Amino acid sequence: MTGAAGKRRNIVLVWLVWPLITLGVYQFVFWYKINREARDFDRRIEVSPGVSVIAILFGPLIIVPPFVSVYNTGKRIAQMQYAAGLNQTCNPWIGFILIFLFGLHTLYYQMELNRIWDYYGTPPEASEVNLAN
């Protein structure tokens, strides 16, 4: 089985620089991209990237949806690690807790995604990679 590779990103740029430069808009772009990468990497991972962004964007009005989206994204990254044949080091509970620490969940999740792309030798974005599981 094969999937599409995602993009290796600088964790500090994702967490701090781009959100500051874009006045927070990049956070939603990033969230869409990483959930789309999960779907494209392993077709067994069911996710609607748009719904994930809506949960983050409008969810604070209801309180619960952003937390569910962050937790589920962590689970998806762990599934991606398993599909790549890596140890599942991404823990969705750590991502959940890091929401409350300066929004460090984005830094943590991108670091975990970078482990996958490094394992594949940092392939070009959207190139085909073989899945182990």
Distance, in Å, from the CA atom of 122 to the CA atom of 70, rounded to the nearest integer, reads 25
Range of the domain at 87: 2-130
Angle at 117 between CA 88 and CA 45, to 5 degrees: 55
DSSP H or E run through 4:
strand 2-4
Question: Looking at residue 61, what is its pLDDT?
Answer: 85
Number of domains in the chain: 1
Asked whether 87 and 81 are in contact (CB, 8 A), the reply is: yes
Name 27's Cβ contacts closer than 8 Å, sequence gap at least 6. 19, 56, 103, 106
Q: Which residues, in sequence order, are bridge partners of residue 3?
A: 129
22-58 confidence digits (pLDDT tens): 999 999 999 999 999 999 999 999 999 999 999 999 8
